[in-house]
Chains A and B, each alone.
Chain A
Amino acid sequence: MKDLPVSSDPHLLVGIETSDDAGIYKLSDDVALVQTLDFFTPIVDDPYHFGRIAAANALSDVYAMGGRPMTAMNIVCFPVTDMSKEILKEILRGGLEKIHEAGAVLVGGHSVDDQELKYGLSVTGIVHPEKFLTNQGAKAGDQLILTKPIGTGIIATAVKGKLASQKALEAMIEVCSTLNKKASEVMLKHEAHACTDVTGFGLGGHLLEMARGSHVEIAIHAEKIPIMPEAKEYALMGLIPAGSYATKHFCEHMVEIKPEVETVFTDLVFDPQTSGGLVISIGPDKAGACLKELKGEGSRSAAIIGEIVGPHPKGKLQITYERSLP
């Protein structure tokens, strides 16, 4: 898009230029629209769970900006002649369940006959035009909280190779279908400074976007990052999606990986996530209380994974590992 002449508008508070999760358009002094859409191919075989995960993933962009989803529309690409309509019904049932859980309403949608099944949502939410969060507000000294464990891309690759255990699959479904609704409400209450959700660029890629957007240096500690059950074992076996290597390569010159960090951790840090958690930058005086409340509100794996080291003109990410004492 960078070479195309996108028009500007004083009401457009967040547009395409900042790599943020959703666009924000001011309607009045009290209300701004939050708009986003996302859809993708199945990451699990079960259509109902795929629907729930795809919907939770699309709704997440609104939560990452501190907004409240109001309406949703289905986006469906479906092989009409090759697949039973029952499958589509199950996908839509799963999606609808999450739309309702979000307190939003389904207002329509569009479907296309396509050989490759895809599903997702276009979501519109609202937010106060002065109270939304982006990836740009992180301040030196802030702590970074991650609300969900990482490892979806690796587990999905293991699922594809029929090597994933039932336990790993169930844990992934549970994590990916959890809405970021409560986590978003808690971070707003504790006056977080910046937020983004962890999706296709992996934890490392999205943190780097935050570092660049906020002009800071971020340090994360590999040993503190919550990881889904068995994701580390599968990564060690080489069940790593191509996206992980591509993102790592793309970010390389802005990331410093300390020599003590094992390769498996960098593989996990750049693993592309589906419906990942929020990563929240919050003042050190508020981080403890925020983390405690997050854990009590369903984000059981939430953890402080790092901090904002200080200002940095271009933005930088540092990955460290500290061995625990015997």
Chain B
Amino acid sequence: MPEIVDASGLSCPQPVLMTLNRIKALNKGEIEVLVDTETSKENVSRAAQSQGWEVAEVTESATGYRILIKKG
């Protein structure tokens, strides 16, 4: 099961900071980030890629986006 970072309701750069902190703590694995704006979706994806993580899946729901990032 991926770790979950719930950044819904938070505005940038908060979701990016939370994602970067979790990436630093885990080093590798899977993280699911929940955000509710297009800006946060884009920014969290960039933040993950900048740390060498892959954006494996982005799903859109009524409440926002679920971004699955991973590093092997």
Give CA–CA (A22, B11) in the complex, Å: 32
Do B44 and A238 touch across chains, with their CB atoms under 8 A apart?
yes
The answer to whether residues A245 and B20 also contact, given A236-B50, A238-B45, A240-B43 and a CB cut-off of 8 A, is no
Q: How large is the interface on A (under 10, 10 to 19, 20 to 34, 35 or more residues)?
A: 10 to 19
8 A-B pairs, CB-CB below 8 angstroms? A161-B13, A161-B16, A236-B46, A237-B16, A238-B12, A240-B46, A241-B12, A242-B11
Q: Which residue of A lies closest to B14 (CB)?
A: A161
Q: How large is the interface on B (under 10, 10 to 19, 20 to 34, 35 or more residues)?
A: 10 to 19
Check: A280 CB closer than 8 A to any chain B CB.
no
Give CA–CA (A200, B14) in the complex, Å: 22
Give the distance to chain A from B45, nearest Cβ to Cβ, in Å.
7
**Contact residues in B for A240 (Cβ distance below 8 Å):** 12, 39, 42-43, 46
Binding site for A on B (CB under 8 A): 11-14, 16-17, 20, 37-39, 42-47, 50
**Contact residues in A for B20 (Cβ distance below 8 Å):** 237
Check: A157 CB closer than 8 A to any chain B CB.
yes
The answer to whether residues A157 and B37 also contact, given A237-B47, A238-B44 and a CB cut-off of 8 A, is no
**Contact residues in A for B37 (Cβ distance below 8 Å):** 242
Check: A160 CB closer than 8 A to any chain B CB.
yes
Q: Which residue of B lies closest to A161 (CB)?
A: B13
Do A238 and B16 touch across chains, with their CB atoms under 8 A apart?
yes
**7 residue pairs, one from A and one from B, having the closest CB atoms:** A238-B46, A238-B43, A161-B13, A238-B47, A242-B39, A238-B16, A236-B50
Give CA–CA (A245, B45) in the complex, Å: 14
**Contact residues in B for A245 (Cβ distance below 8 Å):** 38-39, 42
**Contact residues in B for A236 (Cβ distance below 8 Å):** 46, 50
Give CA–CA (A242, B35) in the complex, Å: 14
**Contact residues in B for A241 (Cβ distance below 8 Å):** 12, 39
Give CA–CA (A241, B46) in the complex, Å: 13
**Contact residues in B for A161 (Cβ distance below 8 Å):** 13-14, 16-17
**Contact residues in A for B12 (Cβ distance below 8 Å):** 157, 238-242
Do B50 and A160 touch across chains, with their CB atoms under 8 A apart?
no
Give CA–CA (A236, B51) in the complex, Å: 10
Give CA–CA (A239, B46) in the complex, Å: 9
**Contact residues in B for A242 (Cβ distance below 8 Å):** 11-12, 37, 39
Do B42 and A239 touch across chains, with their CB atoms under 8 A apart?
no
Identify which of A158, A238, A245, A263 gathers the most chain B CB atoms within 10 Å of its CB.
A238
Do B13 and A160 touch across chains, with their CB atoms under 8 A apart?
yes
